[in-house]
Amino acid sequence: MKRRRALERLSLACLLAALMAAAMWQAAQFARRTAIAEMRDQAGRALERSVANLQGLLDTYHILPRLLAQEPLVRQLLAAVPTPAQRSAVNAFLADFNQAAGASETYVLDTAGETLAASNAEADVSFVGRNFGFRPYFQLAMAGRAGLYFAHGITSNRAGFYFSFPVREHERVLGVAVVKIGQERLEAAWSQSTSPIVVTDAAGVVFITNRSDFRYHTLRPLDAGARQALQRSRQYGDAPLRPLPVVAERVEDGAHTLTLQEVDGADGPGKPVRYLLETSQVPSTEWIVHTLLPMDPVAARVGVAVLLSGSVAAIALMLGLLLRQRRQRLRERLAYQARVAQALRKARDQLEARVSERTRDLTAANARLSREIRSRETAEHALVKAQDDLIQASKLAALGQLAAGMVHELNQPLAAIRAYAANAVTFLERERPAQARDNLGLIGELTERMATLTAELKTFARRTSDETAEIDPRVAVSRALALLEPRLHKDGIELALDLPEQALTVRANLIRLEQVLVNLIKNAADALHGHPAPRIELGLSRAAARVRLSVRDNGPGIEPEAASQLFDPFYTTKPVGEGLGLGLSISYGIVHNLGGSLHADNHADGGALFIVELPLVHAESP
């Protein structure tokens, strides 16, 4: 009998140990899948931000060589055999253009690929006279297309993006305009990330990254043909293009993982680090962006799950053993009360079943609640991103409509600069340096004016956050008028300002408040098209505890049927192709988020009146 009981106890102990191990294994697998899913979501969001940063850089600078290709000085330089004076004038123009655009180098090539003029013509290392006909960006532009290329500069010994565009006279290609942008600002933005971010070309070479030890390595070994082609083109200079130290690569639970042998300083190879790898291709290119997240949190999550599940299983095991011991004692003591004991066991079994059922229900409810929370958080992040993208799109649309007036405003000082430059050359030839110095001073004033205009455009176009600060609305008014002054001047619109002398302070985002004013003033200017005496009145005043900004025009006013839909998205009264109907809707949202209000009405003396009211922080004494 004793031996039988010993065997039963041993069998029971083995069964409980097996159940405990199974529970811990299931908990570990569930924790692993959950942690990997969360990391993939995190990596996906980081990947979207990285692709957006790179795409934003490309979208910002691809227009620059197109502008250079339209410049008369550049066309004249390429149309015939250039004179030294022409070369000097174009070199000076490119230097100013390069500085205003924030580019690394700007230069012009003839049809043979030789550099005729460059922004670094006066530098120790100049592009002038060098031939870049072997570069793919030159060949694409000579074929009549815009070129985009990343390479390590042979002359400057600095890497960067090369944007090119053909310079045409009618259908004939005269040469190529090239603008080079360094990758430093992009890598600086990515440097805030603690996880590696890399961009690879079609051959798999890492050419942009926030990890310097990854640069000019490959994800996989290059074949002989690809390596020889890269060495001939000198795209990455003399880099050896060695593959990254990949220890293992596999796919599990739908996730692509990569294990790299990290370098531990002067001590040589460190321990292998396992990464979760997510990739996305940059639109219209063969480049691929990769994000690598260390998978250490997965192992930590699994360890915690195993520890918790083991603890729970151990407690359950102890409770089970205790209950079994108590039942055995009760059976021995109360054998004569078998019916009562049986009833108690039945009631206990029912209670345990109900507890188990309730536990399952609570576990399922908890899982549903967790999924709902994650779903709502994802939807909230998507909504915030969509709102930011919509506001940025509205700003870029406004910039597009302002471009014609701004180009006209820039062409006037450019024409004056050319005239003053020609006069300065004449004065120098006639040995009249004082008059030449005066002309050069006037040229400097004109370039400062152009720099001010382009700086306002760059500030307005910059993507902003939702952060607010105490600002003076008069600053937003002056910056908005700086952007719209060319348009108002071109259309002959009279502008009447009524601004207080003392400061009125509100809490707002300066750039977004400027965007609201740009939308309202631009809409007013659009409404005055064809008016014999167009006029816009812009006022700023204090009304009790609020600051009131008003924009009024003397146009036809607001139609009654349009009044109720004026701030609805995609509602517009403009002809097709002249507006999306988003400006007023976005402006309403911006003002509402700042705790203010935006409403519109027809003025008693005619025309439309838009009023923005924001809470007043404080006002300085007059």
108: region left, alpha or beta (phi > 0 left; psi from -120 to 50 alpha): beta
85 pLDDT above the threshold of 70:
yes
For residues 483 and 520, what is the distance between their CA atoms, to the nearest angstrom? Answer: 13
Q: Which residues contact 76 (CB under 8 A, 6 or more apart)?
A: 86
Q: Please report, as a single letter, which amino acid is at residue 325.
A: Q
For residues 306 and 20, what is the distance between their CA atoms, to the nearest angstrom? Answer: 10
What DSSP element (H or E) covers 257? strand 255-263
Report pLDDT digits (tens) over 184-237. Answer: 777 777 877 778 888 888 888 888 888 878 888 888 888 888 788 777 777 887
Q: Give yes or no: residues 427 and 568 share one domain.
A: no
Q: Would residue 27 count as lying in a domain?
A: no
Report pLDDT digits (tens) over 362-389. Answer: 788 878 877 777 777 666 666 555 555 5
Q: Give yes or no: residues 425 and 490 share one domain.
A: no
Tell me the C-alpha to C-alpha distance, in Å, between residue 412 and each of 87, 399, 407, 418, 450.
22, 20, 9, 10, 10
Question: Total domain count for the chain?
Answer: 3
Q: Which of 231, 235, 228, 204 is closest to 217 using CA atoms?
A: 204
Residue 114 is predicted with a pLDDT of 94
293 pLDDT above the threshold of 70:
yes
For 549, counting Cβ atoms within 10 Å of its Cβ (0-12 exposed, 13-18 middle, 19+ buried), the class is buried
Q: Pick the residue with more confidence: 532 or 447?
A: 532
Q: Would residue 275 count as lying in a domain?
A: no
Question: Looking at residues 101-107, what average pLDDT do you find?
Answer: 91
Phi, psi of 173 (to 5 degrees): -85, 120
Q: Give yes or no: residues 514 and 562 share one domain.
A: yes
DSSP 265-325: GGG-EEEEEEEEEEEEEPTTSS-EEEEEEE-HHHHHHHHHHHHHHHHHHHHHHHHHHHHHH
What DSSP element (H or E) covers 548? strand 546-553
**Of the residues 142, 161, 182, the one at which a domain ends:** 182
For residues 606 and 297, what is the distance between their CA atoms, to the nearest angstrom? Answer: 66
Pair 194, 275: CB distance under 8 Å: no
Angle between the 72-79 and 84-101 helix axes, to the nearest 10 degrees?
A: 140
DSSP 466-532: S--EEE-HHHHHHHHHHHHHHHHHHTT-EEEEE--SS-EEEEE-HHHHHHHHHHHHHHHHHHTTT-S
- Secondary structure letter of residue 83 according to DSSP: P
For residues 306 and 507, what is the distance between their CA atoms, to the nearest angstrom? Answer: 51
Provide the token pair at 226.
């690809």
67: region left, alpha or beta (phi > 0 left; psi from -120 to 50 alpha): alpha
Domain of 549, CATH number, reads: 3.30.565.10
**Of the residues 141, 159, 182, the one at which a domain ends:** 182
Report pLDDT digits (tens) over 532-582. Answer: 899 999 999 998 889 999 999 998 888 887 766 777 766 566 654 455 556
Residue 255 is predicted with a pLDDT of 80
Q: Grade residue 408 by pLDDT with cuts at 50, 70 and 90.
A: very low
For residues 439 and 471, what is the distance between their CA atoms, to the nearest angstrom? Answer: 39
**Cross-sheet strand order for the sheet of 246-252:** 206-209, 197-200, 288-294, 269-281, 255-263, 246-252
Q: Give yes or no: residues 475 and 447 share one domain.
A: no
pTM: 0.47
For residues 424 and 429, what is the distance between their CA atoms, to the nearest angstrom? Answer: 9
Report pLDDT digits (tens) over 488-519. Answer: 888 889 999 999 988 889 998 888 888 888 88
Report pLDDT digits (tens) over 333-351. Answer: 887 677 777 888 888 888 8
Q: Would residue 99 count as lying in a domain?
A: yes
Domain encompassing residue 102: 64-182
For residues 314 and 318, what is the distance between their CA atoms, to the nearest angstrom? Answer: 6
For residues 592 and 603, what is the distance between their CA atoms, to the nearest angstrom? Answer: 23
Q: Please report, as a single letter, which amino acid is at residue 377.
A: E
For residues 301 and 35, what is the distance between their CA atoms, to the nearest angstrom? Answer: 7
Average pLDDT of the chain to the nearest whole number: 79
Pair 568, 589: CB distance under 8 Å: no
Residue 265 is predicted with a pLDDT of 47
In 3-state terms the chain splits into helix, strand, coil percentages (rounded to 5) of 55, 20, 25
454 pLDDT above the threshold of 90:
no
Residue 403 is predicted with a pLDDT of 54
Q: Give yes or no: residues 452 and 473 share one domain.
A: no
Give the number of C-alpha atoms closer than 13 A to the C-alpha of residue 28, restricted to the C-beta side: 12
Q: Grade residue 395 by pLDDT with cuts at 50, 70 and 90.
A: low
Q: Which of 443, 407, 408 is closest to 422 using CA atoms?
A: 443
Report pLDDT digits (tens) over 131-178. Answer: 988 888 999 999 999 999 888 877 777 888 999 999 998 888 999 999
Tell me the C-alpha to C-alpha distance, in Å, between residue 619 and each of 316, 505, 543, 551.
68, 6, 12, 22
Phi, psi of 305 (to 5 degrees): -65, -40
Q: Would residue 148 count as lying in a domain?
A: yes
CA 138 to chain centroid, in Å, comes to 29
Q: Would residue 326 count as lying in a domain?
A: no
Q: Give yes or no: residues 512 and 438 share one domain.
A: no
Q: Which residues contact 408 (CB under 8 A, 6 or more apart)?
A: 486, 490
Residue 567 is predicted with a pLDDT of 73
Among 42-56, 251-265, 363-377, the minimum mean pLDDT is found in 251-265
Provide the token pair at 573.
């009264």
Q: Pick the residue with more confidence: 285 or 611?
A: 611
Provide the token pair at 143.
């074929």
Q: Give yes or no: residues 459 and 513 share one domain.
A: no
Q: Give yes or no: residues 468 and 614 share one domain.
A: yes
Provide the token pair at 479.
């910056």
Q: Would residue 232 count as lying in a domain?
A: no
**Of the residues 428, 463, 498, the one at which a domain ends:** 463
Q: Give yes or no: residues 373 and 356 share one domain.
A: yes
102: region left, alpha or beta (phi > 0 left; psi from -120 to 50 alpha): left
Q: Give yes or no: residues 457 and 474 share one domain.
A: no
Share of the chain above pLDDT 70, in %: 81
Question: Which residue's structure tokens are 């074949």?
Answer: 223
Domain of 89, CATH number, reads: 3.30.450.20
Q: Would residue 120 count as lying in a domain?
A: yes
Cα-Cα-Cα-Cα dihedral sign, residues 189, 193, 194, 198: negative
Question: Which residue's structure tokens are 């993006």?
Answer: 161
Please count the other Cβ atoms lying within 10 Å of the Cβ belonging to residue 568. 13
Q: Would residue 303 count as lying in a domain?
A: no
Antiparallel, parallel or unpaired: β 469-471 and 206-209: unpaired
For 495, counting Cβ atoms within 10 Å of its Cβ (0-12 exposed, 13-18 middle, 19+ buried), the class is middle
For residues 481 and 254, what is the distance between their CA atoms, to the nearest angstrom? Answer: 54
Q: Give yes or no: residues 533 and 425 share one domain.
A: no
What DSSP element (H or E) covers 149? strand 147-152
What DSSP element (H or E) covers 44? helix 2-61
Q: Give yes or no: residues 577 and 615 share one domain.
A: yes
Residue 552 is predicted with a pLDDT of 94
